[in-house]
Structures are given as structure tokens and as C-alpha cells.
Amino acid sequence: PDSETTFAELQALITKVLAHLDSITPDQIDGKEGIEIVTRPGTPKEKRFTGQAYLLTYGLPQFFFHVTTAYAILRHNGVEIGKRDYMGAF
């Protein structure tokens, strides 16, 4: 429902999402590169993708756009966050 209004609620949501992601097994996604994915079905904005095309041309670009935007907003608002926070230590 997207009704979180506090940091505690957002942290609880993150915990819930991570638990959901941890519950997904490789068997649930292996071999799905050819399935059809339809975004906004039945609307003028409907788009059809194969699983692989969705991941590479839609899903990952959306993900990185939002991560980068959140990073920029945090930096703009004075959060001391740097490249290692974004890229990770390697």
C-alpha cells in the first residue's frame, strides 16, 4: 500500500522485502528468459517483453536509475555517503 511515514516503518519494509527476496529459489527463475512479460496490460502504454529483454532493457535500467537518484538526493541533503557506499568495497 506504500503507507510508510517513519524511518522505522521504512526499515521494517526493507526487512520484509529482503526476506521475500531470500525466499526466491533459483528453480523459480532459471529458464524464464523466454517467458512473456506484459507491463500495463490493456492500456495504451502496454509493452511486451521476453524475460531476458525485460531484465536487460527495462528492469536493470529502472533499478540503477532509482539507486542513483536516491544516492544523489541523499548527498544533496548532506548525508555523508560516498562512492564506496554506492559501489561497495571491493
Q: CATH number, domain at 50? A: 1.20.120.450
In a domain, 34, yes or no: yes
CB atoms within 10 A of CB 4: 13
Single pTM value for the model: 0.71
In a domain, 2, yes or no: no
In a domain, 71, yes or no: yes
Domain that holds residue 72: 7-87
Q: pLDDT of 1-26, one tens digit each?
A: 889 999 999 999 999 999 999 999 99
Overall number of domains in the chain: 1
The HSE-up count of residue 65 (CA atoms within 13 Å, CB side) is 6
The HSE-up count of residue 8 (CA atoms within 13 Å, CB side) is 0
In a domain, 41, yes or no: yes
In a domain, 1, yes or no: no
Q: pLDDT of 59-74, one tens digit each?
A: 999 999 999 999 999 9
